[in-house]
């Protein structure tokens, strides 16, 4: 009988902590597989319309704010680093380091959403919106002047809001999980043998980061080389 049977971290239905950690990782990966398929459907639909209407999609993409998106990319990648460092802190029993890394990750994720909010506000102000009545401004007038079908430009904007919106919801869920980890650390419930609790949340956070790495080129960089765009 293993000595880890007596660990307060060990749940009763597991033989030992090694089995518990492996099960937790596998459970989260199973969930991530469903998330990958969920986003796969969105990416697939985007690919289909992008291949059908490349000119319109690249034109609409040129009105996306690449500066904001680049800053957001840097913040998300940095948050992935600090999240992984949080696992290390948990493993070596560095409670102060665990707090620090979790709080930095939380701050970066929050900053991402705040910047996203500013970006949406700017888009609203410039009438970069998919609705027939709300769509307007330069993106509409320039499209009409160039003979670009505005209906397909609005279709791109539907993808933009749905994909970034769903991604944003995932970020908010991740932030909630990180806050819970901070509370667990405060309650001294994450000793080294319970590091996998941090690791499981980190897996989700990294997936959200990896999805953004694909959203960035598809939505923001598709028209970045066009000179006719919004000039961001």
Partner 1 sequence: MADPHTNHGATDHGHDYAKEADSPGGLFMVYVVVLGLALANVGLSSMGLGRYGLVVQLGIATVQAFFVSYYFMHLRQGDKIVLLTALASIFWVGILFVLFLSDYMTRHMVMGW
Stretch that binds partner 1, among 125-133, 138-146, 180-188, 199-207 (CB under 8 A): 199-207
Minimum distance of partner 1 from residue 226's CB (angstroms): 7
Give the distance from CA 152 to its chain's centroid. Answer: 26
All residues at 6 or more sequence positions from 232 whose CB lies less than 8 Å from its CB, including other chains: 63, 64, 65, 66, 67, 68
**Helix, strand, coil percent content, the chain, rounded in steps of 5:** 80, 0, 20
Q: First CA to last CA across the chain, in angstroms?
A: 64
Nearest to partner 1 of 157, 198 (CB atom): 198
93 to 112, contacts with partner 1 by CB under 8 A? Answer: 93-97
All residues at 6 or more sequence positions from 195 whose CB lies less than 8 Å from its CB, including other chains: 87, 90, 91
Nearest to partner 1 of 83, 102 (CB atom): 83
Confirm or reject binding of residue 32 to partner 1 (CB under 8 A). Answer: yes
Left if phi > 0, otherwise alpha if psi is -120 to 50, otherwise beta: which for 128? beta
Of 77, 113, 114, 132, the one binding partner 1 (CB under 8 A) is 77
CA–CA separation, 13 and 21 (whole Å): 12
Minimum distance of partner 1 from residue 124's CB (angstroms): 24
Binding site residues, partner 1, CB under 8 A: 2-4, 6-7, 9, 17-18, 22, 25-26, 29-30, 32-33, 36-37, 40-41, 43-44, 47-48, 50-52, 66, 70, 73-74, 77-78, 80-81, 83-85, 87-88, 91-97, 191-193, 195, 199, 202-203, 206-207, 209-210, 213-214, 216-218, 221-222, 224-226
């Amino acid at each position: 009988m293993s000595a880890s049977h007596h660990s307060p971290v060990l749940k009763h239905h597991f033989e030992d902590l090694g089995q518990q950690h492996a099960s937790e990782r596998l459970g989260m990966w199973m969930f991530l597989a469903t998330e990958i398929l969920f986003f796969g459907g969105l990416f697939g639909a985007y690919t289909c319309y992008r291949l059908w209407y490349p000119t319109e999609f690249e034109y609409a993409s040129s009105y996306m704010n690449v500066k904001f998106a680049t800053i957001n990319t840097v913040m998300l990648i940095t948050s992935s680093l600090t999240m992984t460092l949080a696992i290390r802190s948990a493993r070596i029993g560095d409670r102060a380091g665990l707090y620090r890394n979790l709080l930095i990750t939380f701050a970066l994720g929050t900053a991402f959403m705040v910047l996203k909010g500013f970006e949406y506000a700017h888009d609203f102000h410039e009438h970069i919106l998919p609705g027939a009545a709300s769509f307007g401004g330069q993106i509409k007038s320039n499209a009409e002047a160039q003979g670009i079908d505005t209906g397909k430009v609005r279709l791109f904007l539907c993808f933009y809001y749905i994909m970034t919106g769903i991604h944003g919801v995932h970020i908010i869920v991740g932030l909630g999980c990180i806050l819970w980890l901070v509370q667990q650390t405060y309650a001294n419930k994450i000793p080294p043998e319970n590091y996998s609790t941090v690791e499981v949340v980190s897996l989700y956070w990294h997936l959200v980061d990896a999805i953004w790495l694909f959203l960035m080129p598809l939505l923001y960089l598709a028209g970045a080389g066009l000179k006719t765009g919004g000039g961001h």
